[in-house]
């Protein structure tokens, strides 16, 4: 058994080899490093520009909203697989919110409740819109960041949200 640390969220995965995606934040395998060489982006204080602070706040709000919506959507579906998927997505988005709060040097975010539709199809469409919006925003935030850590962080995150968009696109077909 080895210890792999995710450089995006800082969580440890214990296993024989690195998984394809971080089970906590969804980061791609290239962000999972053996603990002897890992250097998580959120483990040390980063001096943030005003723009990065603003962008991280925008992203934090978005992640908190997504978490609350996915918890709602999990409870609306009568399909166990869809419910489990939304619980998994909610955990991942919550992990993103936690990582953003750490970068901003803020306390752990509190997740409020949110209202969502009663049927899966409407919720899938809403999810796709949220994820597509996150991809666009995080691509821009990665470009705008002047801090190495923030640039890599958003580059890792937009890939994760693009994976979510692809997952939902498949469900809508």
List of residues contacting Fe ion (CB under 5 A)? 6, 8-9, 22, 24-25, 27, 63, 93, 96
User: Least separation, in Å, of the C-beta of 76 and Fe ion?
Assistant: 20
Cα-based angle 41, 95, 163 (whole degrees, multiple of 5): 90
Measured from the CB atom, the residue of 9 and 128 that comes closer to Fe ion is 9
Measured from the CB atom, the residue of 7 and 80 that comes closer to Fe ion is 7
User: Least separation, in Å, of the C-beta of 63 and Fe ion?
Assistant: 5
Measured from the CB atom, the residue of 147 and 163 that comes closer to Fe ion is 163
Measured from the CB atom, the residue of 6 and 78 that comes closer to Fe ion is 6
User: Least separation, in Å, of the C-beta of 13 and Fe ion?
Assistant: 8
Measured from the CB atom, the residue of 6 and 142 that comes closer to Fe ion is 6
User: Least separation, in Å, of the C-beta of 30 and Fe ion?
Assistant: 12
H, E, C per residue of the chain:
CEEEEECCCCCEEEECCCCCECCCCCCEHHHEEECCCCCCCCCCCCCCCHHHHHHHHHHHHHHHHHHHHHHHHHHHCCCHHHHHHHHHHHHHHHHHHHHHHHHCCCCCCCCCCCCCCCCHHHHHHHHHHHHHHHHHHHHHHHHHCCCHHHHHHHHHHHHHHHHHHHHHHHHHC
User: Least separation, in Å, of the C-beta of 152 and Fe ion?
Assistant: 13
């Amino acid at each position: 058994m080895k210890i792999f640390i995710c450089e995006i969220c800082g969580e440890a995965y214990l296993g024989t080899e690195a998984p394809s995606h971080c089970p906590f934040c969804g980061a791609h395998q290239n962000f999972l490093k053996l603990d002897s060489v890992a250097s998580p982006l959120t483990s040390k204080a980063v001096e943030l520009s005003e723009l990065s602070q603003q962008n991280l706040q925008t992203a934090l709000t978005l992640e908190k909203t997504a978490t609350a919506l996915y918890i709602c959507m999990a409870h609306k579906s009568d399909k166990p697989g869809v419910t489990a998927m939304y619980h998994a997505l909610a955990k991942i988005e919550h992990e993103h919110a936690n990582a953003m709060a750490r970068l901003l040097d803020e306390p752990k975010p509190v997740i409020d409740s949110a209202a969502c539709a009663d049927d899966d199809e409407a919720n899938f469409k809403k999810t796709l819109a949220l994820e597509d919006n996150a991809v666009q925003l995080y691509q821009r935030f990665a470009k705008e960041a002047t801090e190495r850590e923030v640039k890599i962080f958003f580059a890792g995150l937009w890939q994760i949200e693009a994976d979510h968009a692809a997952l939902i696109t498949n469900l809508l077909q």
